[in-house]
Structure 1
Amino acid sequence: MKYALITGASGGIGSKIAAKLADEGWNLYLHYHRSKEKTEHLKKELENKGISCLPVQGDLSTKDGVNGLLGKITHPIQLLVLSSGTAPYGLITDLDDEEIQAQVQLHVTSPFLLAKSLIPNMVSAKKGSIIAITSIWGEKGASCEVLYSMVKGGQNTFVKALAKELAPSGIRVNAVSPGAVDTGMLSRFTEEDLREMADDIPAGRIGRPEEIADAVCFLASEKSSYITGHILSVNGGWN
């Protein structure tokens, strides 16, 4: 049986990734922080597809979050999808030190430690895949999202470096880098803001979470068996 761990599985993108992977026969560990009810609902929905779903709680923005999460994993993980994240908005001078540390822990340190702990079983099996959900801002940078741009850029470099280290062991490491996607992260913008954003995107619209999930499923499949260390931009041509 094959098992995947999806961090941030209760989110707009994470839940769609879970649904697509369930369709491909993956048994799932569904990580969440606060959204227990939403995750339990997702579990019931996905188990109707004949796979096993195990909700696991953990606050990955804290130093103890990774160990707490790993203590609930009882199967070898063949696929790690790093989809947890929040995006603070504001000038760099408006961010307090606690928020900065929490974002670095959530997006950089915790993913690093999760991968570090799960990789040995992948190496023993000579197969496995790690996929990070990064961001267009990790590639381009964004005013008023300097912290988010920094940590997502760190994820992209992590992917490229780790891919080189693990390729001889048959393990692939890639990222999907979304542009603007219709999730809760856009809730702070007005309808007018969103229309202007869509007008700036060559494809003329905001992306759908399902489109990010499709990219993840491709990178998790044997159809991408010779792809590693790649940042797959899914952004409608927005750059």
Structure 2
Amino acid sequence: MKHIFVTGASGAIGRAICEALLQQEVTVYAHYHTNRAAIDNLQQQAQELNKKVVAVQADMTSATGAQECLDQLPSELDVLIHAAGHTVEGLFQESTDTQLAGLLQVHVQQPLALTRHFLPSMLRKPYARVVFISSVFGQTGGAYESMYSTAKGGQIAFVKALAKETARTKLTVNAVAPGAIETPMTTKLSQEDLEALTMDIPAGRLGHVKEVVHAVRYFLDPASQYVTGHILSVNGGWYT
């Protein structure tokens, strides 16, 4: 049975990934920060399917986030999915050091610390995967989200570099880069802003969470062993 850790499992994308994983013979370690109700719901679904979800609580914006997770995780994992994150909108010159530090911790420093910890054992396994949920802004940059774009770009650079280091093993390292996806975050947009955003996307609509999950499942498939260091865009042709 595979052991899979999903950070940000209480968010829309992370939770959907966990729900999809419950269709397999796996133990899912589901990370959350404050939204325990979402994890309780996942555990209820798992129980109905005779599967197991283990709650892992940690603040990934903190410098101790990775260690908080490690204190609640097994010594080895087969799959590590980094889906935790948040954004900060606004002009860069109006940003604060605290905002920047939090973004870099949750998107870069703590995911790298977790990956470094589990890497030695993953390199010995006949199957192992690391997947980041990055962003189109990590590829192209987004105005008013300079810090978030920087953090997501850091994820992409790390994926490409680590994939080269580990390519001769059975570990693959990849990232999904979603564009505008229908989540509680996008429901906060005004109708005017939502229409303007939709018009800017060549596909003419926002993406669905299930489409992001499908991309993750592709990377997890054993048949995708030769795919590593890849950034899979799920954005309807929206390169900002």
TM-score range normalised by the length of the shorter chain: over 0.9
Percentage of matched positions with identical amino acids: 37
Whether the aligned pair in 2 keeps the contact of 1:86 and 1:185 (CA below 8 Å) is no
Cα separation, 1, equivalents of 2:138 and 2:184: 19
1:179 alignment partner in structure 2: 179
Whether the aligned pair in 2 keeps the contact of 1:2 and 1:26 (CA below 8 Å) is yes
Whether the aligned pair in 2 keeps the contact of 1:6 and 1:28 (CA below 8 Å) is yes
SS in 1 for 2:18: helix
SS in 2 for 1:139: helix
Paired AA for residue 165 in structure 2: E
Cα separation, 2, equivalents of 1:187 and 1:114: 32
Structure-1-length-normalised TM-score: 0.97
Residue 75 of structure 1: how far off its partner (Å): 5.3
Residue 46 of structure 1: how far off its partner (Å): 2.6
Bigger mean CA deviation after superposition, 188-197 or 6-15: 188-197
Whether the aligned pair in 2 keeps the contact of 1:20 and 1:214 (CA below 8 Å) is no
Cα separation, 2, equivalents of 1:199 and 1:24: 38
2:93 alignment partner in structure 1: 93
1:76 alignment partner in structure 2: 76
Whether the aligned pair in 1 keeps the contact of 2:162 and 2:173 (CA below 8 Å) is yes
SS in 2 for 1:5: strand
Bigger mean CA deviation after superposition, 178-187 or 79-88: 178-187
Gaps of 5+ in 1: none
Matches within 5 A, 1:12-51: 12-51=12-51
Residue 126 of structure 1: how far off its partner (Å): 4.1
Cα separation, 1, equivalents of 2:223 and 2:48: 26
Bigger mean CA deviation after superposition, 58-67 or 189-198: 189-198
Whether the aligned pair in 1 keeps the contact of 2:127 and 2:222 (CA below 8 Å) is no
Aligned residues: 239
Structure-2-length-normalised TM-score: 0.96
SS in 1 for 2:168: helix
2:108 alignment partner in structure 1: 108
Matches within 5 A, 1:1-239: 1-74=1-74, 76-239=76-239
Paired AA for residue 238 in structure 2: W
Residue 184 of structure 1: how far off its partner (Å): 2.4
Gaps of 5+ in 2: none
Residue 204 of structure 1: how far off its partner (Å): 1.1
